Structure 1
Amino acid sequence: MKGMKLYLIGTGILLILYLAAEYYKPKPTDWRPSYLKEDKIPFGLFVLNKEYQSIFPETRIEMSRLPVYNTLKDKERKNTNYLIVAGALHVDELDYKELVKFMKAGNHVFIATFDIGSYLKDTLKLDINSSLNYGKKKSVPINFVNPSVKAKQPYVFDKGLGDLYFSKVDTSRATVLGRNEEGAVNFVKYTFGEGALYVLPNPQLLSNYALLSAEGAAYAAKALSYLPVAETLIWDENNTKGNLGNESLLRVLFKHDQLRWAYYLSMISLVIFVLFEMKRRQRIIPIIPQLRNSSVDFVRVVGKVYYQQRDNSDIASKKISYLLEFIRGTYRLKTNAIDEELMAALVSKSGGNESDIRHLFATIEEVSKPGRVTDYQLITLNKLIEKFYKEAQ
């Protein structure tokens, strides 16, 4: 036990030292594209959330962790915008139909994502491609098409923020709002009734990293200016955080490096402790044999006694008595006299075969006569009684 205590104390000290070193070491920049409104990392949306509220102060922001279908189904939405900024979009046929109803009612939808999903890709006839060139430090310059918002100098971003474009666009349905310097479309609009759908293949242009620069803030403001001033903005979090109620303790642990490694070290220490404790610390407990069931032996002894005495008449009498008692207790029938009335009532109540019941009572009458009961008669009686028990209801 002394060695185990030293082991546990040493493990605890090492764990504390490791956690202290992890806590005080410089935190590296987190470049994960989370697209969450509360994240201040480069590719979070903290700045967009604050700036949107300052640009449209009268707009009420409504966060939604539900799929599009559940958010819009059976809800009368008027003067509302729907904003989706995510790495990948998960929209099926039901979601799309609700979006179309939503837009035809005069509302607008703004989607910024790298991957619009197979259903929207087929429905809108859109394909996203990239012009990213790792040999270049700057992205391909981009700009708007409309002269009223088009900048004199195109926008140029680093880290490939504006390098994605639509390699296929159905221009008969879509209105082109933006292009890159090579002429590829990178911002489109689809009109649905009184509303519209705006699709931007570069969600990072709305991130903290882009908005903290003058060019990024100007581009994002002009892109979002296509959305009209609305009473409500539905901010989608289903495509970034997942469905509501999908949080768990382990998900929080794995989100932070320090907590994740602390969890791993705890599990490894627990496994090592279990391996050390696998040694037996007491004598083997002897196996106590299970008590024998003597009821079976008793039945066998009684059976042997009857078999040796060969008193078939006594056995037949007892089986007939048990049968009549069963009929009286189960069907409430009088068995004083075995006649046609009893057999008819028994057939009706038990649901048994009439011929089998008549055969049974005929055999009872035969073995009840004075004289010796043969083995054949006893076996026949037993079979008929057992058959009646099985068929009786």
Structure 2
Amino acid sequence: MNSGLRRYLIIGSILIVGYLVAQYFKPKPTNWAPTYLSEDKIPFGTYILRQRINDIFPNTKIKTVQSAVYNNLREQPKGQSNYFIIASNLSVDKLDYREMVKYMQSGNNIFIAAFQIKGGLLDKLKLQIASDFNFQNKRKYPINFVNPSLKRDLDYYFDKGISEQYFLNVDTARAIVLGKKEDKFSNFIQYKFGKGSLFILPNPQLLTNYSLLKEDGLDYASKVLSYLPKAETLIWNEHFTRPDAQDHSVLRVFFKYDELRWAYYIALFSLVAFILFEIKRRQRIIPVIERLKNTSVEFAEVVGRVYYQQRNNRDIAEKKVSYLLEYIRNKYRLKTLDLNQEFKESLIKISGANADIIDELLEEITYLKAGQMVKDQQLIRLNKLIEQFYKQDQ
């Protein structure tokens, strides 16, 4: 082996080892996958709920199962029990539904939290789940309870779109509405079957780690689960969330045996080394092109001097107010033609700005629209209020 090839091998090995070390120690990105698994500590896992559920149900035995609903309910434990399901999607066929009804009529309760419920359950109950889906998930939807003893004066607000699901066409003759979204759409309902009940929540992410780490989320989840009566056993069904344990990878045979696994690694490393040596080629020198100069600062200074020399405070103030109202229309979909009391209350509720800042800002805008002369101090005050609003609304 000549010295040139040896040098390239050493350099290539160092680069590969350095890359592997950097990949091993780099911070892992947040996993936003909704697994709803009791051992997952990611945002949409249920580790906190599983660890703290006995705070809500003391002296209750938690039994984890992974089989189908029909099999669980056919072999239910003795005594009164609650059946708990949390998942993205679940399917309830006719056999499952029949066993569920028998289970509830004997004095037990079922709690379901899922985005989609397939099968005959929703058809039997004449329910339909709808959603105000938003790709950016920037809007916070207010939700609250119907029961005056549980209803909070200030609605619950959650980000990431985790409270956007609700029910359509709820038959109030059969269903008991326990919670609402935006005070008009039902988002938590109860059906009575004999001595037991069925509770359905279309927003399972309200019970995940991401929600329970916040004070509002913890309070809301504890109130939701408080509807389940005390029971000797709580059956936690993971049939719809537990992934298949069988490995379906095409390389599973290689990784099953140490000899084949190392042969695979050596072959892969040899292929990478071969490619690195073969891609070597002579290349002409790339000319250095100077980066274009950024003149944005100079442009802003020139424009600022022009406005300062004209001393047209009203024009500057009107432009800043116009940009502010455009920002509010685009972000919150609020009408800004009439800045009345209803507009102020809506802006305070859905924005992150302080109520005092919004109140003072609207007073200044009203003064400006009245056609009064804008002095330097008034322009400075208006600018400070607008900047404070932007900063608090981030």
Give the TM-score category using the shorter length.
Answer: 0.5 to 0.7
- Cα 1:108–1:26, aligned 2, differ >3 Å: closer, same or farther? same
- Cα 1:267–1:186, aligned 2, differ >3 Å: closer, same or farther? farther
1:68 match: 69
Q: Deviations over 1:268-296 (max 9, x none)?
A: 828959x99xxxxxxxxxxxxxxxxxxxx
1:159 aligns with 2:168: no
Shift of 1:212: 0.8
- Cα 1:228–1:272, aligned 2, differ >3 Å: closer, same or farther? same
1:139 match: 140
Question: So what's the TM-score if we normalise by structure 2?
Answer: 0.59
**RMSD over aligned Cα atoms:** 3.4
Bigger-Rg structure (1/2):
1
- Of 87-96 and 231-240, the range deviating more from structure 2: 87-96
1:223 match: 224
- The CA distance in 1 between the partners of 2:269 and 2:96, in whole Å, is 46
Q: How many residues align?
A: 263
Shift of 1:266: 4.8
- Of 199-208 and 88-97, the range deviating more from structure 2: 88-97
- Of 221-230 and 161-170, the range deviating more from structure 2: 161-170
Contact 1:65 1:238 in 2 (8 A): yes
1:188 match: 189
Residue correspondence of structure 1 range 280-291 to structure 2 within 5 A? none
- The CA distance in 2 between the partners of 1:120 and 1:77, in whole Å, is 26
- The CA distance in 2 between the partners of 1:195 and 1:180, in whole Å, is 25
- Of 6-15 and 50-59, the range deviating more from structure 2: 6-15
Contact 1:113 1:200 in 2 (8 A): yes
Contact 1:173 1:190 in 2 (8 A): yes
- Cα 1:28–1:136, aligned 2, differ >3 Å: closer, same or farther? closer
SS at match of 1:82: strand
Identity %: 48
Where does the alignment leave 5 or more consecutive residues of structure 1 unmatched? 254-261, 277-393
- The CA distance in 2 between the partners of 1:272 and 1:237, in whole Å, is 43
Residue correspondence of structure 1 range 1-393 to structure 2 within 5 A? 16-75=17-76, 77-133=78-134, 137-242=138-243, 246-248=245-247, 250=249, 266=265, 269=268, 272=271
Shift of 1:47: 0.9
Contact 1:65 1:242 in 2 (8 A): no
Where does the alignment leave 5 or more consecutive residues of structure 2 unmatched? 253-260, 276-394
- Cα 1:23–1:145, aligned 2, differ >3 Å: closer, same or farther? same
- The CA distance in 2 between the partners of 1:205 and 1:62, in whole Å, is 22
Contact 1:77 1:102 in 2 (8 A): no
SS at match of 2:158: coil
Q: Deviations over 1:91-115 (max 9, x none)?
A: 2111111111111111111000000
Contact 2:177 2:188 in 1 (8 A): yes
Question: So what's the TM-score if we normalise by structure 1?
Answer: 0.59
- The CA distance in 2 between the partners of 1:35 and 1:161, in whole Å, is 13
Q: Deviations over 1:181-212 (max 9, x none)?
A: 25011011011110000000000100111111
Shift of 1:8: 10
- The CA distance in 2 between the partners of 1:67 and 1:196, in whole Å, is 20
